[in-house]
Amino acid sequence: MQLDDLYRRVIMDHYKNPRNRGQFDDDVLTVDLNNPTCGDRISLQLIVEDGIVKDARFTGEGCSISMSSASMMTEAVKGLNFEHALQLAERFSSLMKGEDVQFDELEDIEALSGVNKFPARIKCATLAWNALKKGIQES
């Protein structure tokens, strides 16, 4: 199996079987963002205690890239403090710029590395990550 095929499968798995899709009933940190260029939208919810992301969920609509990226991001940030979560988001931004970045937190994220070859899709991949950054900065 070629690497592109594997990456495609990982992305489609997160799209068809999203992790952490849904909403919390409690009063939580919520960030709503959309990408007016393509219509993708996300509502990210974070349970935060003492500057640590205890849990994360999302709802929204969008392409396979944006929804799989949200699934991967919510998996990766659980248990991270704000500083580490922001560093992870910055590493993801570097990945979208074509830099070689490894993700020990969740290897699936690396499946999105090919998105940088399609500049119009970068905003799709970064939507959830931008919601994370905004949520942390506003809390």
pLDDT in tens, 91-128: 999 999 999 998 888 889 999 999 999 999 999 999 99
Query: Does an H or E element contain 60, and which?
Result: strand 52-61
* Average pLDDT over the chain, rounded to an integer: 94
Cα 38 to its chain centre, rounded Å, is: 17
What's at 32, amino acid-wise?
D
The pTM of this model reads 0.94
pLDDT of 3: 62
Mean pLDDT of 65-94: 97
Cα 4 to its chain centre, rounded Å, is: 20
